[in-house]
Amino acid sequence: MNEDAPTSIEPGGSNQASRLADALLWTLLFEYDGSTTGETRGSRLRPTDAAQLREVVAACTKDVFAMVNVELAIDTEPKRDQIPCPSLLAVFIGFGGRMLRGSLTLVAPFSLLKTTYPFPLKAEPEAGLDVLDWSGELANQLIGRISNRLANRGIELLASTPKVLLAEHLRVSSLPRNCVCELRFRAGDASVGLWFDGLAADDANLFGSAEIPTSSAKEGDVLVF
């Protein structure tokens, strides 16, 4: 394991990490469903809604990382089964609402996220824990930006508390069954992955109405948990 990464989680290999990631994904997906039976409520997004939502998610991801001085570019030829990095952080955050619910997963190298930390780092092991908390805040900022954009369409999202997983060689063997978009970015030599999984209310037309003015919170405000 990378010496710069905290050791609060000891994965037992890529299979265990993948199973844990899958479990967390679906835990978050059902977090606002109120279901303990594994049954889902809602429908897959219309293709036009999924395409527009993908544009929103990609733009917001770039904006959030630009805020911490990291320029992201879409990776047009990513490796599909694994993001090659010796030490990864995976951040999961669920969201729910009347028209849309699901989860967002952000995967990035610990070393990259460490460089974005906005305050002087303490000595280890506190420094590693601070980066874990900060990674959750980045995901929180991301879902906040997405929520602000969707609010212009009358779509309200309520986000859960971010959950952060440290794992070596995290593999994504298959996409979540309700994946709206899978995005891979490059930040210099580093790879960043993002998965947005969601279900829409039955017969929902998310982008069918005109944009409406909102009084959303200002984007870029930092709330450290």
The answer to whether residue 143 sits within a structural domain is yes
pLDDT at 122 over 90: no
Mean pLDDT (the chain) is 75
The answer to whether residue 220 sits within a structural domain is no
How far is it, in rounded angstroms, from Cα 169 to Cα 18? Answer: 9
Task: Return the CATH number at 112.
Answer: 3.40.1550.10
Contact residues for 132 (Cβ-Cβ < 8 A; gap 6+): 6, 8, 89, 164, 166
pLDDT at 17 over 50: no
Give 126-132 contacts, CB < 8 A, sequence gap 24+. Answer: 128/4, 128/5, 128/6, 128/7, 128/8, 129/6, 129/8, 131/6, 131/89, 132/6, 132/8, 132/89, 132/164, 132/166
Average of pLDDT values for 205-211? Answer: 72
Whole-number pLDDT of residue 176 = 57
Question: What's the token pair of residue 23?
Answer: 């479990």
- The answer to whether 43 touches 202, Cβ cutoff 8 Å, is yes
Nearest to 25 by CA among 160, 169, 168: 160
The answer to whether residue 81 sits within a structural domain is yes
The answer to whether residue 21 sits within a structural domain is yes
The answer to whether residue 94 sits within a structural domain is yes
Domain that holds residue 24: 14-200
Count CA atoms within 13 Å of residue 156 on its CB side. 7
- The answer to whether 223 touches 137, Cβ cutoff 8 Å, is yes
Which range of 1-15, 32-46, 66-80 scores highest in mean pLDDT? It is 66-80
The answer to whether residue 217 sits within a structural domain is no
pLDDT at 1 over 50: no
The answer to whether residue 4 sits within a structural domain is no
Whole-number pLDDT of residue 11 = 32
Identify which has the larger pLDDT, 163 or 78.
163
pLDDT at 222 over 70: no
Whole-number pLDDT of residue 85 = 55
Give residue-wise pLDDT tens across range 92-119.
999 999 999 999 999 999 999 999 999 8
Give residue-wise pLDDT tens across range 44-90.
888 899 999 999 999 999 999 999 999 999 998 766 555 445 588 88
The answer to whether residue 152 sits within a structural domain is yes
* Count of domains forming the chain: 1
How far is it, in rounded angstroms, from Cα 208 to Cα 45? Answer: 12
